[in-house]
Structure formats: structure tokens, C-alpha cells
Chains A and B, each alone.
Chain A
């Protein structure tokens, strides 16, 4: 039954069991996935509100345009690879392959490399004398990249737990859901990163 049909139902007109022999969730997805989707919506609201704040702050007279460091393109590539590897490991589990360990591990490692590269970029900026308080564009730069990195760290925590289980001999099928959710989360973070990059480049 479609969601619209469900909430236009007249419940007083019909008694008896509605639906099949089993209890039915509103979506045919595991609860973890439903919760993740709601979390992703909440997280994208956080990032969009920062984006809106950026645009509003940009209009104010003291704004100094700062061009983004070109390393960011390299960093972006690292994150794209990371996301791609997660996609590969998800596809591998779905296809029932036994060897997901290395792709799954590599996906996380590229994410770690991305964070490391982001930190190098921070240091380069600071070496140029562009600190958090130097001007509002820099404040937003550190804030948004930092927040994005924190989200990746959160994902890496889940990733490391799954990886440890894989390394200690768990079968890939058992971790199918974790791998799938990690992949969704990584794609989300890639999209957020591209949006953050676009917003920051708009000076």
C-alpha cells in the first residue's frame, strides 16, 4: 500500500487484519537503513544551514574572497576513490564473492588518506598566514572542512568495527548490511564534500 493510500485510509470502516500473515514495516528495509536515511537528512540539514550562513555572511561588507587551495582537487580524488572502493566491496558482497576484505579495507584507508591530506591543506594555509580568525572566509573553510572530517571519522569508527570482524574471520554475508550502510554513508559524504567544495569556491 502506498504511503499516500495508507494515510488516507478510513480506519473506522474496516475491522479485521489488514495485510498479510506477517507484520509489515512501512518500508521493506532493515531498521538500520531507515534510521540511517533519517540521520542523513538531519546531517544534510546541518550542512545546508552552514551553506546558507556562508552565503548570507558573504553579502556582508567585510568579506574577503579567498581562493581555495588547488590541493583540494587532489583530496577530492582521494575521497572519490574511497567511495568507489566501498561501492566495489558492496557489489562484491551482493554477488556473493568471498574476497571483500581488501577492497573494504582499502576504501577506509583512502578515507584516512583524505583526512590526512585535508590536514596538510590546513597546515599549508596556516603557513601562508591564513588562520581561523584571519577572515570570515577562512573561518568557514576550517569549520566546514573540520565538520566534514568529523563525519568521516564517525564513519571510520563503524568501518573499523566491521573490518575487525572481517579480519577475525566473519563471513562477508554476515557483514552485508554494515558494508551496504557504510557505502551509502560514504557516497553521502562524497556528495556533501562536493557541495562544501562548491560553496567554498564561490567567493
Chain B
């Protein structure tokens, strides 16, 4: 059997064209529909997790006034908020949502290479979400072990949800890993094998690079989560002692003996740190494309950007123990992990410089996506700089259990990816829906969100310096924390409530525009990458009509000297480019 490249086996008749409403929108194998299913589910659980955070904030800001949650419910909210946001919202939205939508369109393919597997991936993801949500309904409620689920406390009486809650959480994570693996194999294979003619690896938009490397990270890091989940389930259900040490629970010695809780931490963070970049790298890619398009300038240092993505991906596997400085470790290990952590700042800073240099002397169009993208540069620099503090063992030890850490990780992997997600949703909304969103409402949404998140997280750094501990239900009377800390806490809560409710603007905007928005042209931003060159807007099943596109250039030919238009689409040959006439 002679090898025939995949994109060449192009035969539109082979696509599984849907025949009914159900196969078109429910059991769909079209990557765009799956992307919207993935994204929609992720946004819904994200809203649930946002609600939980608002409950926590009301408790923290006004402990005397509101009596909405008791300490147990507080810990359950912390846990579920963290786990949902990191895994079920950000990972699913960026890779399941944007990964599915963008990859085939940007590389000029008709669909993913395994559409059926792609569909299964979504349904497994939905199952994992439902299992997780079911834990709200069982006796004892969801687990309150903290999103890191450290044993032994996660399974001991005293921790809320130590019976059913934790089991459902572990089951749900296992199913999620299966779902991710099915989706991930699809993205990787599609990007490697199914690119259009002329689309070399270095002609791919950075979005595709970010998604590609993040997916590889996921395929190699989620196994660690699976391994720790399996062993913890065995400890909990079957009474083995992988992680559980000899321990006394409410006066009775348990059967466990000799297990190592620190082993769990190593396995968890061997997944947990790459997970940060599984979320960050797609966001880096998306924001690069938004910035370049709206600055009408090619991305600065494209090769460096690609290599930085690869370098960050590689380094992310050798920094995990910086999450465990307080667990205690050999000082040489601490030295090693602090060093690798600081080294990872080099490619990351390189990316930030390149984003800023992309803006430099660009013909910047301040559209709403550009607002969010520039906002991201601010919040990411902020979160990144505090990471340099926390990467050092001696600074991390006193700060680790304070609000400084909460502020750091929310800035760097909460607010920053979310700003990119909004930037991207607004940027690609015209392509996805065929309508324009309301510009003014989007900008209002930006300002409230951007300034509001600063109002929330900037003061948290000060609380952290004061030594205000995180994970506490209420501060109570403490000598070292001044009374005024509580005022700051109340202020943070008010800001959080405002930012939380302002997200309604986003939903009003996209839902209203779906019917009433101005009809979008096929390429309203004048973008050069392939997804804007589809014959139909929104792209129909099969994406490209009769013939697949041929790629003649990279994705960033903006403001090319001599060309009449300020962008040249990737699928336009040199001969077809209109040049300015010399006589002008």
C-alpha cells in the first residue's frame, strides 16, 4: 500500500455529512459543532465555579453579615472552584473548544483526522462533568480536600465529602483524562499529518503551535494524574497503603500503614505544573494572533515565539517540586527546582517582549479583542513577576500559605487566560456566528473586568505580605493582622461581586448579537490566516467547499511594503497580490 498523504485523500463524499438535526447538533462529528459543545459546557461549569467563588468572597468580606455557607461548605467551594476552573473550564475551553474549532480551519483541513473519536471525547468530557456535579447531590456533598486532594486528609473524617465526594471527584478526573487523551491524539495527529498543501510547520499560526505543544504536554502529563487517581482510589476503596500512612482517625487506628503522602504530591504536581502550561500555551498562541492582526504587523520574532513555546513545554516537566517547598525536601532539590523555575522565566519573558515589540510602531486598531489582548499583557506580567518571588525557596516559605500565592496564581493563570479567552471569543465571534458583536458593550465589559480584577487581586498581595493566611474560613482575632485587613477584604469582595456580575454583559452581547448583530463580512479584521478565508461564514461542514486551500506564505503577512492591501492571505500566490502602482 503506497503511502498517500492524508490531505491528498481529500474526498468530500467521504465526510460523514449529517442527515438529521440530531446527527448535526447532538451526535455531531463536525469539529466546529464539537468545539461549541465543548466550549458551551466549559463555560457553564465555569459559571458554576464563579458562583462558588462569589459565595466564598461574601463569607470572607463580611463574615458577620452573610450566613450563606458554613466552614464545611467553604472548603467544598474552594475545592470545587479550583478544580473546575483549572481542569473542567480552562483546559476544556482552550483545548476542547478553541483547539477543536481552530486547528482544522487554521491548517486548511476539512476536519479532525478521527471525527468519531473527537465526538467520543466530548461525550466523555460531559460524563466527567456530570459525575463531578453529581457530588453536589450525594450525602456529605462534594469533597472539601482542596483542589490538590492531598492524602491523607482528603479521605479522613473531618474533611467534608470524605466518603462519596472524593470518590466521585477521582472517578470524574479519570474519565476526564480518557476524554482528553482521545481529543489530544486527534489534535496532535491532525496538526502533524493533515495540513494543507504548502502549510509547513513554520507557516502555522502561533495559535496552532500553542495548541499543539499544550496537547503534547497534556498527553504526557495527564498520565501522572491518572496514576495518582488510581492509587488514591485503591487506598480509599480497597484499603491499600500507597499514599496512606499509619494514622488514627477519631481515636481509632486505621488499617493503613506506611504509605507516602509525599509520593502523591510528587505525582500530582508532575501533572499539576505542566497543567499550568497546558492552559497558558494555547492562550499565548491565541493572543499572539489577536495582537498581530489588530496591530497590522507581523508577530515579532516568529521563530523565537515557536521555540519559546517548545522550550517552555519542555521545561515545565522539571519544575514541579516548586509547589512543594513547604512539604520539606533536600536543600539540593530545592536549589535545583528553584533554578529550573527561574530559567523558565527566560522563554516566557521573551514572549512578553515579542508581544510588546509587535505593538511597537504598529498600526494599532483598538477593537475590543485588542483591548483584552493588551490587558492580558499587563496581567500576565504582573502574575509572572510574583512568580519570580515564589520560585525562590526562602521567599516562598513565608509566603506560601498566604494570600500572596492566591493573588499570584489568579493573576497568572486565572485572569490572564480568561482575558485571552474573551479576546479570542470576540475576535473569532464574527467567523463563528456570521454576526458582529456590539463593540461598545464589549469595551464596557473589558474595562469593568480589567480594572475590577486589579481591584480584586492587587490588594491580595498586600494581605499576603501582612501574613493573612489563605484557606481560612474566617480570620478571627489575630495579633499580627491589623483590623484594617478586614476592610481590604470587604473591598475585594465588593470588587469581586461587581466583576462577577459584569460578565452578564458578555452573555447579553453574544446572545443579542446572534440575532441582531450586524452581518459580518467573511474577514472583518483583514486577517491573513486561513480560517478567515473560508468560502462560507460561518464555515459549513467540510470547511472549504470543493477545493482545499493551497498555502503560499506564512500567517503574518501584514503591511507588506508595496502591497495594496495591508494584509496578504496565506492562500494568495505572489502573482495574485495587487501591488501599488508606481505612478502614485
Flag if A22 contacts B220 (CB, 8 Å).
Answer: no
- Which residue in chain A gives the minimum CB-CB distance to B227? A49
Counting chain A CB atoms within 10 Å of each CB, the highest count among B266, B298, B548, B554 belongs to: B554
A-contact 0/1 string along B192-214, CB 8 Å cutoff = 11111111111100000000000
Output the least CB separation between B485 and chain A (Å): 41
Asked if A169 lies at the interface with its beta carbon under 8 angstroms from chain B, I say: no
Contact residue among A17, A18, A22, A35 (Cβ-Cβ distance under 8 Å from B5): A22
Flag if B219 contacts A38 (CB, 8 Å).
Answer: yes
Contact residue among A10, A63, A176 (Cβ-Cβ distance under 8 Å from B303): A10
Flag if A7 contacts B242 (CB, 8 Å).
Answer: no
Asked if B72 lies at the interface with its beta carbon under 8 angstroms from chain A, I say: no
Flag if A139 contacts B240 (CB, 8 Å).
Answer: yes
- Which residue in chain B gives the minimum CB-CB distance to A13? B554
Output the least CB separation between B324 and chain A (Å): 14
Main SS at interface, chain B: helix
Flag if A39 contacts B257 (CB, 8 Å).
Answer: no
Output the least CB separation between A43 and chain B (Å): 8
B-contact 0/1 string along A118-138, CB 8 Å cutoff = 000000000000001100100
Output the least CB separation between A179 and chain B (Å): 12
Complex formed: what's the CA distance from A143 to B237 in Å? 13
| Contact stretch, chosen from B181-189, B396-404, B411-419 | B181-189
Given A38-B188, A56-B260, A23 and B242 touching (CB < 8 A)? no
Asked if B239 lies at the interface with its beta carbon under 8 angstroms from chain A, I say: yes
Output the least CB separation between B504 and chain A (Å): 40
Q: For chain A, which range describes its interface: under 10, 10 to 19, 20 to 34, or 35 or more residues?
A: 35 or more
Flag if A6 contacts B197 (CB, 8 Å).
Answer: no
Given A11-B554, A56-B263, A176-B1, A23 and B196 touching (CB < 8 A)? yes
Chain B interface residue count, CB cutoff 8 Å, equals 67
Complex formed: what's the CA distance from A147 to B226 in Å? 12
Flag if A139 contacts B552 (CB, 8 Å).
Answer: no
Complex formed: what's the CA distance from A186 to B234 in Å? 27
Complex formed: what's the CA distance from A46 to B234 in Å? 16
Asked if B3 lies at the interface with its beta carbon under 8 angstroms from chain A, I say: yes
Asked if A95 lies at the interface with its beta carbon under 8 angstroms from chain B, I say: no
B-contact 0/1 string along A18-52, CB 8 Å cutoff = 11011111111111001100110111011001100
Given A15-B574, A29-B3, A39-B185, A45 and B193 touching (CB < 8 A)? no
Asked if A73 lies at the interface with its beta carbon under 8 angstroms from chain B, I say: no
* Residues of B with C-beta under 8 A to A136: 240-242, 258-259
- Which residue in chain A gives the minimum CB-CB distance to B556? A12
Complex formed: what's the CA distance from A15 to B255 in Å? 69
- Which residue in chain B gives the minimum CB-CB distance to A30? B3
Output the least CB separation between B224 and chain A (Å): 6
Flag if B240 contacts A133 (CB, 8 Å).
Answer: yes
* Residues of A with C-beta under 8 A to B258: 60-63, 136
Flag if B260 contacts A60 (CB, 8 Å).
Answer: yes
Asked if B253 lies at the interface with its beta carbon under 8 angstroms from chain A, I say: no
Given A35-B188, A39-B181, A136-B242, A19 and B198 touching (CB < 8 A)? yes
Contact residue among A25, A62, A132, A173 (Cβ-Cβ distance under 8 Å from B257): A62
Asked if B114 lies at the interface with its beta carbon under 8 angstroms from chain A, I say: yes
Asked if A8 lies at the interface with its beta carbon under 8 angstroms from chain B, I say: yes
Contact residue among A6, A15, A25, A61 (Cβ-Cβ distance under 8 Å from B552): A15
Flag if B553 contacts A15 (CB, 8 Å).
Answer: yes
Flag if B303 contacts A17 (CB, 8 Å).
Answer: no
Complex formed: what's the CA distance from A63 to B239 in Å? 16
Complex formed: what's the CA distance from A41 to B238 in Å? 29
Given A25-B193, A27-B192, A62-B257, A143 and B8 touching (CB < 8 A)? no
Given A6-B201, A9-B202, A23 and B238 touching (CB < 8 A)? no
Complex formed: what's the CA distance from A18 to B570 in Å? 13
- Which residue in chain B gives the minimum CB-CB distance to A62? B258
A-contact 0/1 string along B227-259, CB 8 Å cutoff = 100110010001111100000000000010111
- Which residue in chain B gives the minimum CB-CB distance to A23? B7
Asked if B267 lies at the interface with its beta carbon under 8 angstroms from chain A, I say: yes
Complex formed: what's the CA distance from A1 to B5 in Å? 15
* Residues of B with C-beta under 8 A to A42: 181, 219-220, 222-223
* Residues of A with C-beta under 8 A to B553: 11, 15-16
* Residues of B with C-beta under 8 A to A35: 113-114, 185-186, 188-189
Asked if B6 lies at the interface with its beta carbon under 8 angstroms from chain A, I say: yes
Flag if B198 contacts A143 (CB, 8 Å).
Answer: no
Flag if A34 contacts B192 (CB, 8 Å).
Answer: yes
* Residues of A with C-beta under 8 A to B239: 132-133
Complex formed: what's the CA distance from A11 to B204 in Å? 9
Output the least CB separation between A38 and chain B (Å): 5
* Residues of B with C-beta under 8 A to A176: 1
* Residues of A with C-beta under 8 A to B337: none
* Residues of B with C-beta under 8 A to A147: 230
Asked if B321 lies at the interface with its beta carbon under 8 angstroms from chain A, I say: no
Asked if B496 lies at the interface with its beta carbon under 8 angstroms from chain A, I say: no
Output the least CB separation between B167 and chain A (Å): 17
Output the least CB separation between B179 and chain A (Å): 14
* Residues of A with C-beta under 8 A to B114: 31, 35
* Residues of B with C-beta under 8 A to A39: 181, 185
Flag if A25 contacts B260 (CB, 8 Å).
Answer: no
Contact residue among B201, B224, B574 (Cβ-Cβ distance under 8 Å from A7): B201
Complex formed: what's the CA distance from A6 to B553 in Å? 15
Flag if B201 contacts A26 (CB, 8 Å).
Answer: yes
Given A133-B255, A143-B234, A176-B1, A45 and B220 touching (CB < 8 A)? yes
Asked if A57 lies at the interface with its beta carbon under 8 angstroms from chain B, I say: yes
Flag if A19 contacts B197 (CB, 8 Å).
Answer: yes
Flag if A16 contacts B200 (CB, 8 Å).
Answer: no
Contact residue among B203, B219, B227 (Cβ-Cβ distance under 8 Å from A50): B227
Asked if A53 lies at the interface with its beta carbon under 8 angstroms from chain B, I say: yes
Asked if B270 lies at the interface with its beta carbon under 8 angstroms from chain A, I say: yes
Flag if A53 contacts B231 (CB, 8 Å).
Answer: yes
A-contact 0/1 string along B541-556, CB 8 Å cutoff = 0000000101111101
Contact residue among A10, A24, A49, A53 (Cβ-Cβ distance under 8 Å from B242): A53
Complex formed: what's the CA distance from A15 to B573 in Å? 8
Contact residue among B6, B189, B219, B310 (Cβ-Cβ distance under 8 Å from A23): B6
Flag if A23 contacts B554 (CB, 8 Å).
Answer: no
Contact residue among B189, B241, B303 (Cβ-Cβ distance under 8 Å from A31): B189
Output the least CB separation between A15 and chain B (Å): 5
* Residues of A with C-beta under 8 A to B574: 15-16
Complex formed: what's the CA distance from A143 to B223 in Å? 15
| 10 pairs of A and B residues whose beta carbons are closest in the complex | A62-B258, A23-B7, A25-B193, A11-B554, A23-B197, A139-B240, A45-B223, A46-B223, A26-B192, A31-B113
Q: Please list 6 pairs of residues, one from A and one from B, whose beta carbons are closer than 8 Å in the complex, sorted by A's number.
A: A9-B202, A11-B202, A16-B553, A60-B258, A173-B1, A177-B1
Q: Please give 20 more A-B residue pairs, beta carbons under 8 A apart, in addition to A30-B3, A31-B193.
A: A6-B200, A6-B202, A11-B302, A17-B198, A17-B551, A19-B198, A19-B200, A23-B6, A25-B5, A28-B5, A35-B114, A38-B184, A38-B185, A38-B188, A41-B220, A49-B223, A49-B270, A57-B242, A60-B259, A177-B1
